[in-house]
Amino acid sequence: MRFTGILTLMIIISSCGGEKKPSEEEFLRSLEESATTETSVDTETINAVLQQIPSPIEISMMLKESGTNYNATLLNSPENISNYNTNFQKAMNLGIFGTDLGYTNIFEQNQDGIEYMASIKELADDLSIGQFFDIETIGRLATNSKNLDSLLLITTQNFNNINSYLQNQGRSNLSVLLLMGGWIEALHITCQVAEKSPENAPLRDAIGEQQVVTESLQLLMELYAEDPTMKQLREDLIPLWEEFAKVEITVEKGETTYEVVDGIMMINDNSTSTINISPETMTNISNIIKSVRSKIIG
């Protein structure tokens, strides 16, 4: 009997992390499936879609490059943290604060950034993902604008690590909320800035081209159609998807050329895309996102 126990243990140890033979693989898969029958297929899809969503930091950089000024009134106040009691509110607003932190970082408003960092850390602790934020290091980096690259790197890595961790922990729903919150905030900021500069074509394009992202987000929402915590959000976003469906994106294919510069391949794609979004659609998108965000930030 003791011998059988040792043998079983040895088989388990020897199979850990190695290339599994078909019978072992099937056995392990059956164990996994029995534990997560309803979501095992979807989890892979969800993680693949989550990977696609562009970082809000790209939007913040675009806003800075387009010559707009920093405007703290567009952001969610870190003091609103006391309004967030449920995991849904905490995860959504963690995403929102994450985008706001990126915005303050890009515009080198480090003092504001520190306040966002404190609220982020608190929400993350409540969601048991606080271990990913080394607030001391971030605070130290934030004291000097020369550390901008390191600050951006470390905060981006933190959020990437959180998403990977949540997905590996089978808590992808929180990861979805985090990303949704981040995207909603980035779109809200862009819309607010665009309202003040209606002739700014890059801003208009930036809003219109979110149509591509909305296709992925709709898919995510569909995958969570049965999740009661997301039901209201899903319903609130339907009018937004309808407005984005009115945006027309046309692509003209061009020739691609290649050259090597300093050992790096440079791909020169001469294709172009044109985004057609009417002023009415712009206004509707702006109004809807404002209303959705208001419900989330409280």
Partner 1 sequence: MKKFMYSLIMAVFLLGGDAYGQCNPEEFTNACIPKLSQGFNFLKSYNVDGQGGSKTKVEYSYVFTKGTQYMINVCGSGGANDGIVVSLYDSKRNIVGSNVHNGQQLAAFVYPCNTTGIYYITYTFDGSKAFCGGSALGFKR
Task: Return the sign of the alpha-carbon dihedral for residues 79, 139, 156, 64.
Answer: positive
Q: Does 21 bind partner 1 (CB under 8 A)?
A: yes
Q: Which of residues 258-277 bind partner 1 (CB under 8 A)?
A: 258, 260, 263-273, 275
Q: Which is nearer to partner 1, 26 or 125 (CB)?
A: 26
Q: What is the smallest separation between the CB atom of 232 and partner 1, expressed in angstroms?
A: 26
Q: Which is nearer to partner 1, 53 or 74 (CB)?
A: 53
Q: x/- site string to partner 1, residues 201 to 240, per CB under 8 A?
A: -x--xx--x--xx--x------------------------
Q: Does 14 bind partner 1 (CB under 8 A)?
A: yes
Backbone dihedral angles phi then psi of residue 269, each to the nearest 5 degrees: -95, 120
Q: How far apart are CA 245 and CA 185, in angstroms?
A: 20
Q: What is the smallest separation between the CB atom of 201 and partner 1, expressed in angstroms?
A: 11
In sequence order, what are the residues at sequence separation of 6 or more whose Cβ sits closer than 8 angstroms to the Cβ of residue 68? Answer: 193, 197, 203
Q: Which is nearer to partner 1, 61 or 74 (CB)?
A: 61
In sequence order, what are the residues at sequence separation of 6 or more whose Cβ sits closer than 8 angstroms to the Cβ of residue 62? Answer: 202, 206
Q: Does 28 bind partner 1 (CB under 8 A)?
A: no
Q: Which of residues 43-82 bind partner 1 (CB under 8 A)?
A: 48, 51-55, 57-58, 61-62, 65
In terms of DSSP bridges, do strands 248-252 and 256-261 run parallel, antiparallel, or are they unpaired? Answer: unpaired
- CA 154 vs CA 65, 105, 158, 203, 222: distances in Å: 22, 11, 6, 27, 32
Q: How far apart are CA 78 and CA 117, in angstroms?
A: 9
- Chain positions contacting partner 1, by CB under 8 A: 6-7, 10-11, 14-15, 17-19, 21, 24, 48, 51-55, 57-58, 61-62, 65, 149, 152-153, 156-157, 160, 202, 205-206, 209, 212-213, 216, 249, 251, 254, 256, 258, 260, 263-273, 275
